[in-house]
Amino acid sequence: MEHKRILIDTSVLIDHFRRKRKDKTLFFELAQNYDCLISSITKFEFSVGSTSQNREYTEKLLALLPALPFDSASVRSAVDIYRTLKARNQLISLPDIFIAATAIANDLPFQTLNRKHFERIDNLKLDIKKR
């Protein structure tokens, strides 16, 4: 049986990284049921957040996850998101906009632990699990 694909946010990886019981994380649960993908922005955020002590683990984890590029379609989507949120006076960080835009441009469901920011974005297929 082929798994469905899902784009996961940096917050999901950070939660997995910080927890001692990896089998109790949202990432572990998602990996059982989906082909998990990340955006190139998530790859950047997670990589720069690593220290010399945990870099090897970070690189191994990232090697398991295909990273979708921030391409022209993602840029167009990001511009739309930015303009909409700015008009509503609800801007979020640019990396979050870029990550959401990647999900929208690739027509993928999106998983995050940061509901507050991402639920503001129209057309984002949020697949939010309560934790």
- Condensed to tens digits (0 to 9), the pLDDT of residues 23-32 reads 999 999 999 9
Whole-model pTM: value is: 0.91
- H-run or E-run covering 111: strand 110-111
Distance, CA of 120 to CA of 111 (rounded, Å): 14
Q: In the predicted model, is pLDDT for residue 15 greater than 80?
A: yes
Q: Which two tokens stand for residue 91?
A: 């801007």
CA distance readout (Å), 41 to 5, 22, 38, 70, 106 = 18, 23, 8, 7, 14
Residue recorded with tokens 């996850």: 65
**Burial level of 42, CB count in 10 A (0-12/13-18/19+)?**
buried
- Condensed to tens digits (0 to 9), the pLDDT of residues 48-98 reads 987 777 888 889 989 999 999 999 999 999 999 999 999 999 999 999 999
* Domain spans of the chain, in order of start: 4-118
The confidence score (pLDDT) of residue 129 equals 62
Domain 4-118: top CATH class: alpha beta
